[in-house]
Amino acid sequence: MGKGIKPLTLALLAAILLLQYPQWLGKGSWARVWELARQLSTQRTTNQQLQARNAALDAEVRDLKQGFEAVEERARSELGMVKQDEIFFEIPDAGSKPASAK
């Protein structure tokens, strides 16, 4: 009776190991699930940032299509443009040197 139990135990142990292999090391293993969950979290964060950026760009496009204030503001800040009959004064910073002194 003692000899029959050992092969049965080994067979059951082998069956358990074969059933556990896919869970720990196979294609759908816990490590893979954890990695995919991490990637999903990272992608969701990226998507939220991109949605916020897209919303800001959408608002800017609507602003540019509807009125000239946004165009004027951009021309003034980025291109240094002034209106006709407008006088522009530039006040240099106290720490900056005049162009002739450089």
pLDDT at 43: 98
Mean pLDDT of 24-34: 80
**Would you place residue 99 in the very low, low, confident or very high pLDDT band (cuts 50, 70, 90)?**
low
Q: How far apart are CA 75 and CA 69, in angstroms?
A: 10
Q: Global pTM?
A: 0.46
Q: What local confidence, expressed as pLDDT, does residue 4 receive?
A: 63
Question: pLDDT tens across 1-22, in order?
Answer: 556 678 888 888 888 888 887 7
Burial class, 25, CB count within 10 angstroms (exposed 0-12 / middle 13-18 / buried 19+): exposed
Residues near 22 by beta carbon (within 8 Å), at least 6 away in sequence: 28, 29
Give the domain ranges of the chain: 28-78
